[in-house]
Amino acid sequence: MLIILQFVASPSFSSPNAGLLSDPVFFWLIISIISGFAFFGVLFIIRAILKSTSKETKALNRTILQILVPKERKSEGQGGQIAQADRLEQIKEEIAITETFFASIAGLRAQRGFKNWITGRNDHFSFEIVAHNGLIYFYVDAPKRGREMIEQQIHAQYPYAEIEEIIDYNIFSENSKIVGAYLSSKQPKVFPFKTYKIMDSDPISGPLNVLAKIHENNSSAAIQFVIRSTHKKWRKKGVEIVRNVRKGAKFESVIQGNKVGKVFQFINENLLGKEGKNKNEFGQSEKYQLSPKEEEMIKGIEDKLSKGGVEINIRLLSVSDSEATARGNLDNLINSFSQYNLYRYGNSFSAKIPRNQAALIRDFIYRSLNERGLVVVNTEEMASFWHLPLRSTEAANIKWLGARKAPPPSDIPKEGILLGHTAYRGVDIEIKMKEADRRRHIYVIGKSGSGKSVFLKNMIIQDIKAGKGVCVVDPHGDLVEGVLGHIPKNRVDDVIVFNPSDTDRPIGLNMLEAKSEDQKDFAVQEMISIFYKLFPPEMIGPMFEHNMRNVMLTLMADLNDTGTIIDIPRMFTDDSYVKKYLVKLKDPVVRAFWEKEMAKTSDFHKSEMLGYLISKVGRFVENEMMRNIMGQQKSGFNFREVMDKQQILLINLAKGNTGEVNAKLLGLIVVAKLQMAAMGRAELPEEERKDFYLYIDEFQNFVTDSISTILSEARKYRLDLIIAHQYMGQLTDDKGRSDIRDAVLGNAGTMCSFRIGPEDADILSKEFAPTFSSYDLINVPQFTCYTKLLIDNTASKPFNMLVYPPEKGNQELADAIKELSRLKYGRDKKTVEAQLMERTQLGVSESAAKTNIIESSL
């Protein structure tokens, strides 16, 4: 516009052509031209201002996604190694997946219209690799309206990827020294970069190895690719280059541009008078012969043009408390991109480090796209610059996904107990289980601290609040204490707290207490199995079984006056005490044991036998706590009533207070008594049998080999088990037999695997294959489990399930319930001891004991 005004005002214009100024048409033409220039000048200034000011607004309307993929080990070939050619082929196949993903972005229609022109397009995405706090993260930034498309594309190509929306990360601090650079192309945009298809390794290994070493002086770094779909016209330049080179033009002339060649041709033909009929538009007199390398490069350009294209800004940013460290890290990052350079007949990167870093840092934070530094690449090149880490990627410090996720079954029940929930691809679904499916039992395994107890606690509380009958066998005490604080006030009277360490008011527990003749053999057999569980098999033997069976059956002769385990030693030292039970004894075989076998046994052999038995039973007779519990003829509560009346039985067997062996014995007795009570339900019609839920933590300590019978038959009597423990080695005996493990895996309908060890993962991976591998089972996050859920008596496909966090209970209520229970079901210690002394004659001489027996019989 200034030139036009100067031209109009100049003497050469005004003197000979002064008459033109008096022409209104010409005058208004000049004014229109000047106004047009002014209008467009102002418009472009406004456009620049609006594009700058709208960056922050656009940045706030975007979503930051963190992407994690699992690091899976793949089976290696012969000799433990994969052939290099095969390994390289695997790498290319995995990267090609990302190329498909970028093709969907390249296929998006570029935003058009005046609004997008004046304020700038907002259809770009940012793909980033960031080293921060010692780890390498992969992020994708997308406009909110494009988030769904991005997630769908990522999940389509990476089914096991986990996408999490996050608040934007921050790699800066108050003391940070920041230095950044732009990467641009040296050659025209249509010239190709080197891609993964012609490289001998994973292209991003170089940048990742640089990022992996960035940790000194509070250092961080980021590689940012801001991309958007480009207009189709970018191919026009490439097509023109290929066409001209095919016609015989040199690459150098083509790169300089057609206009320069046409200028030289005009000068030669018109000013210098040279003929140009045999010359092309670039001034070349004869057709240029392409070298093989140039032919290859022409093919490279054609290949680039054949795929979808995107416009990108590449920013590298380095942050550190030390300026020298920040600059060194940036230089290393820049150098790592040299592997993409094709130095002749191809493209290469040029780094620009601006003096004023403020604009670069602002564009990095806002993830804005600067049109002046655009590089056009196709999907193959973009996949070479950025892709998620591969299974073969060995760079250190990558933030991997601990374990894969899988979708929950589509037929998840809408009713039943709430086990947890699953968050899969942005959809949160509650996982429930029907009551009928619970009768096939639930098996839970996981390391300490993985979330098993929280899972059990949530289920127990739900059952209690629903009015169900529940028994909890807790070897640690924390589970029982946690449940007590959640007991509803309307169920306070249903609670029985069995705590052996409460020695002031012990609750009786007599294993030899039977309600019918049929239960006698079951009780005796279980008691012998318990001793096998407590002691090595070589310490038991057939003679121990023989003697113990007959003694216990004798003590159980009178159902109304049953003996106890504490009475066993006296049965071999006091003949008059034996006669008391022989009066009621009806079994001829057992009677023969006393009248024929024992009557003919010498005192010496009796003393040997007594010593052998005392070594097994004595620890319970001599222990005051155990003697006061197991020495009571009547149990403090009736197990059958607990089940039928839907009561709440909480067994606190904290080893620190009770002792490991004592806790084990009491737990075994409780489980056996519940099994005995469940079998007694055979007399009831099936529809009258109410479900009773037995929770056993560290169950391997409290079950005998009859667990297979419980798992297979107890469901008929509505005794539903929820069993948990830490590792598979607990389910094998000293001889390596795995009968209990096989029974559990073969009969448990629902399996929940929290984090486990490598050996257990090898076993359970067969249960969860092919959805999950042993690597997943080892790396499952805390409070998460892999679940095979029984749905309508059919096992579902495995899926992830998250446990709901625990809620805080009412401790005052818990203390009140414990006090009520001990007063209601416990007995005063002095009373119990007095009765034991009277019955067992402990501390009384043999002659006095005989006198007392005679007097009691009279």
In this predicted structure, what is the pLDDT of residue 787? 95
Residue 133 has pLDDT above 70, yes or no: yes
In this predicted structure, what is the pLDDT of residue 122? 72
For 508, the 3-state DSSP assignment is coil
Residue 72 has pLDDT above 80, yes or no: no
On whether the CB atoms of residues 180 and 360 are closer than 8 A, the answer is: yes
pLDDT, one tens digit per residue, over 250-260 is 766 666 654 54
CA separation for the pair 41, 521 (Å, rounded): 104
Structure tokens at 520: 């006698």
On whether the CB atoms of residues 692 and 429 are closer than 8 A, the answer is: no
DSSP per-residue codes, 25-51: HHHHHHHHHHHHHHHHHHHHHHHHHHH
As beta bridge partners, residue 445 has: 725, 753
In this predicted structure, what is the pLDDT of residue 59? 65
> What is the arithmetic mean of pLDDT over 682-690?
85
CA distances from residue 218 to 7, 89, 131, 368, 835 in whole angstroms, order as listed: 62, 38, 11, 26, 74
In this predicted structure, what is the pLDDT of residue 506? 93
> What is the arithmetic mean of pLDDT over 30-59?
68
CATH architecture, range 427-508+635-827: 3-Layer(aba) Sandwich (3.40)
CA angle, corner 394, sides to 390 and 399, nearest 5? 70
Burial profile 29-53: b = 16 or more Cβ within 10 angstroms, e = fewer = ebeeeeeeeeeeeeeeeeeeeebee
DSSP per-residue codes, 667-684: HHHHHHHHHHHHHGGGGS
Q: Which burial class, exposed, middle or buried, applies to 275 when counting CB atoms under 10 A from its CB (0-12, 13-18, 19+)?
A: exposed
Residue 286 has pLDDT above 80, yes or no: no
Question: What DSSP character marks residue 763?
Answer: H
- Other C-beta atoms within 10 Å of 555: how many? 23
DSSP per-residue codes, 53-117: HHHHHHHHTEEEEEEE-B-------GGG---HHHHHHHHHHHHHHHHHHHHHHHTSPPP-SHHHH
Phi, psi of 828 (to 5 degrees): -60, 135
Confidence (pTM): 0.76
Helices (H), 337-471: 358-366, 379-385, 435-438, 452-465
On whether the CB atoms of residues 505 and 818 are closer than 8 A, the answer is: no
In this predicted structure, what is the pLDDT of residue 182? 95
Element (H, E) at 655: helix 655-658
Distance spanning both ends of the chain, measured CA to CA: 136
Q: CA nearest 130: which of 98, 169, 77, 102?
A: 169
Element (H, E) at 739: helix 739-747
HSE value, Cβ hemisphere, 13 Å, CA-based, for 377: 29
For 806, the 3-state DSSP assignment is coil
- Asked if the domains 61-71+84-233+310-385 and 427-508+635-827 are classified in one and the same CATH topology, the answer is no
Sign of torsion over alpha carbons 750, 753, 757, 761: positive
On whether the CB atoms of residues 631 and 504 are closer than 8 A, the answer is: no
Residue identified by tokens 């209008």 is: 39
In this predicted structure, what is the pLDDT of residue 48? 64
Phi, psi of 515 (to 5 degrees): -95, -15
In this predicted structure, what is the pLDDT of residue 563? 87
Q: Which burial class, exposed, middle or buried, applies to 845 when counting CB atoms under 10 A from its CB (0-12, 13-18, 19+)?
A: exposed
Find out whether the peptide bond into 537 is cis, omega within 30 degrees of 0: no
CA separation for the pair 832, 502 (Å, rounded): 13
Q: Return the higher-pLDDT residue of 79 and 372.
A: 372
As beta bridge partners, residue 222 has: 130, 317
Structure tokens at 592: 């023969």
Radius of gyration of the chain (CA): 42
Model confidence at 645, in pLDDT bands (50, 70, 90)?
A: very high
One-letter amino acid at 318 equals S
Burial profile 666-682: b = 16 or more Cβ within 10 angstroms, e = fewer = bbbbbbbbbbbbbbbbe
> What is the arithmetic mean of pLDDT over 614-640?
85
Structure tokens at 419: 């086990």
> What is the arithmetic mean of pLDDT over 680-686?
84
Highest averaged pLDDT of the listed ranges 297-306, 432-441, 610-619: 432-441
> In the chain, pLDDT over 90 holds for what percent of residues?
38
In this predicted structure, what is the pLDDT of residue 112? 63
Domain ranges of the chain: 2-49, 61-71+84-233+310-385, 236-298, 427-508+635-827
On whether the CB atoms of residues 310 and 106 are closer than 8 A, the answer is: yes
Phi, psi of 153 (to 5 degrees): -70, -40
Residue 828 has pLDDT above 80, yes or no: yes
pLDDT, one tens digit per residue, over 571-606 is 877 888 888 888 888 888 988 888 888 877 766 666
Residue 542 has pLDDT above 70, yes or no: yes
- Other C-beta atoms within 10 Å of 83: how many? 11
pLDDT, one tens digit per residue, over 808-826 is 889 999 999 999 999 999 9
As beta bridge partners, residue 135 has: 132
Q: CA nearest 100: which of 160, 139, 158?
A: 158
On whether the CB atoms of residues 634 and 839 are closer than 8 A, the answer is: no
Mean pLDDT of the chain: 83
Q: Return the higher-pLDDT residue of 248 and 746.
A: 746
On whether the CB atoms of residues 799 and 819 are closer than 8 A, the answer is: no
> What is the arithmetic mean of pLDDT over 13-17?
49
Residue 704 has pLDDT above 70, yes or no: yes
CA separation for the pair 280, 298 (Å, rounded): 19
In this predicted structure, what is the pLDDT of residue 614? 74
Q: Which burial class, exposed, middle or buried, applies to 264 when counting CB atoms under 10 A from its CB (0-12, 13-18, 19+)?
A: middle
Cα Dmax for the chain: 158
pLDDT, one tens digit per residue, over 775-813 is 889 988 899 999 999 999 999 999 999 999 988 889 999
CA separation for the pair 514, 491 (Å, rounded): 28
In this predicted structure, what is the pLDDT of residue 121? 67
Q: CA nearest 613: which of 530, 523, 543?
A: 543
CA separation for the pair 369, 385 (Å, rounded): 17
As beta bridge partners, residue 428 has: 423
Question: What DSSP character marks residue 340?
Answer: G
Structure tokens at 26: 């010409």
In this predicted structure, what is the pLDDT of residue 851? 44
In this predicted structure, what is the pLDDT of residue 79? 40
Question: What DSSP character marks residue 311?
Answer: E
CA separation for the pair 658, 445 (Å, rounded): 25
CA separation for the pair 485, 496 (Å, rounded): 14
CA angle, corner 470, sides to 467 and 472, nearest 5? 145
CA separation for the pair 130, 317 (Å, rounded): 9
Q: Which residues lie below 8 Å from residue 389, measured CB to CB, with a gap of 6+?
A: 69, 71, 138, 204, 208, 395, 398, 400
Q: Which residues lie below 8 Å from residue 852, measured CB to CB, with a gap of 6+?
A: 841, 844
Pairing of strands 469-474, 648-652: parallel
Q: CA nearest 172: which of 357, 332, 334, 356?
A: 357
Nearest-10 crossing angle of helices 205-212, 323-336 = 160
Q: CA nearest 475: which of 701, 186, 316, 630?
A: 701
CA distances from residue 840 to 507, 554, 564, 579, 603 in whole angstroms, order as listed: 19, 15, 10, 14, 21
Q: Which residues lie below 8 Å from residue 775, measured CB to CB, with a gap of 6+?
A: 70, 71, 72, 73, 403, 761
Given this structure, which CATH class describes domain 61-71+84-233+310-385? alpha beta
Residue identified by tokens 């209104």 is: 24
